[in-house]
Amino acid sequence: RLQKYLEIYLDCDYAENFLRWTQEDSDWLEEALVTYIGGKQNSEHEWMANNLIRSATLFSTRPIVVVVFDTIFHPPAWWKAFPNVIVFGMNPGMQIPVSFNFNKLRAML
């Protein structure tokens, strides 16, 4: 019943970056930074994600995985210029009236 909330797919625009960071015999990333986003374009959340991506690009040797949790948000085109950015998509989360951030947990899984 909950399986559909854990299905994830690679954004095809980032397939080349994904292949750069994985091995031929495994699709797992050895290490990565992980964040998530959803919602309207040009929002405060997008601004924070942009700054996080810039920072990770400048100061980390690891890839940064960005999980998009809805069908509204589309990654800015300039993200593709960074070889360490890998974008995945997930179905929108469960509509549960609790204060926990389940998208954060789903991104980490």
**pLDDT by residue for the chain (109 residues), tens digit each?**
667 777 889 999 999 999 999 998 998 999 999 998 988 888 998 999 999 999 999 999 999 999 998 888 999 999 999 999 999 998 776 666 554 466 666 665 5
In DSSP terms, 86 is beta-bridged to 65
φ/ψ (deg, to 5) at 103: -65, -35
86-108-59 Cα angle (round to 5): 50
Report whether 70 contacts 90 (CB < 8 A). Answer: no
What does pTM read for this prediction? 0.84
Predicted pLDDT at 31? 93
How many Å apart are CA 90 and CA 70, to the nearest integer? Answer: 7
Report whether 23 contacts 17 (CB < 8 A). Answer: no
Predicted pLDDT at 11? 96
Predicted pLDDT at 1? 64
